Amino acid sequence: MLRPMNQLRPTAVPIRELVIFAVCLLAGVAGLPALAFVIGQLVLGPYAGGGVGAIIANEFRGLGAAAWSSWVIALAPYGIVMLVRAIWNCDRLHTTLWPPVPRLDPTRRKDRAKHEEPTISDTSVFHAKSGSDRSAR
């Protein structure tokens, strides 16, 4: 089970980050081109350059030639991981800075049907509050 980053040893955090980056890079270099090949076969038809190996070889050639499209494909999984982390941390920061307002428990509310407000037409209540009818009670 993964522990939160603040509970890890200081040397474990960079190692963990390198492992995550390596797995994402492998997924971007081999996984995404293979997925693009399969989806392209289903939607567009056969790939003119060959098979899955040819499209992965084209990806490596693009990385070697510093083609921005190949680097975007290679780094996209790590970018997605970083985006998910940023959203997760913003949510945690939001709940830390502004904790949720506690909701009132509906079972603890007073029964408002039993409580009646006094009205002016109710003379006994009116006189009892004014003190003029204390002897009658």
| Domain extent listing, the chain | 5-102
> Would you state the structure tokens that stand for residue 113, as one six-digit string?
């049907």
Stronger pLDDT, 70 or 90, i.e. the higher one: 70
Burial (CB count within 10 angstroms: exposed 0-12, middle 13-18, buried 19+), residue 128? middle
Range of weakest confidence among 8-17, 56-65, 83-92: 8-17
The Cα–Cα gap between 82 and 120 comes to 67
Amino acid 14: pLDDT: 82
For the whole model, what pTM was predicted? Answer: 0.55
Winning range, highest mean pLDDT, from 37-51, 53-67, 68-82: 68-82
The Cα–Cα gap between 77 and 28 comes to 6
Range of weakest confidence among 2-6, 53-57, 75-79: 2-6
Mean pLDDT for 30-43 is 90
Question: Confidence class of residue 87 from pLDDT cuts 50, 70 and 90?
Answer: confident
> Would you state the structure tokens that stand for residue 131, as one six-digit string?
């003190």
Amino acid 114: pLDDT: 58
Continuous segment of H or E residues that includes residue 94: helix 68-97
The Cα–Cα gap between 106 and 108 comes to 5
Question: Confidence class of residue 10 from pLDDT cuts 50, 70 and 90?
Answer: low
- pLDDT greater than 80 at residue 69: yes
Question: Confidence class of residue 108 from pLDDT cuts 50, 70 and 90?
Answer: low
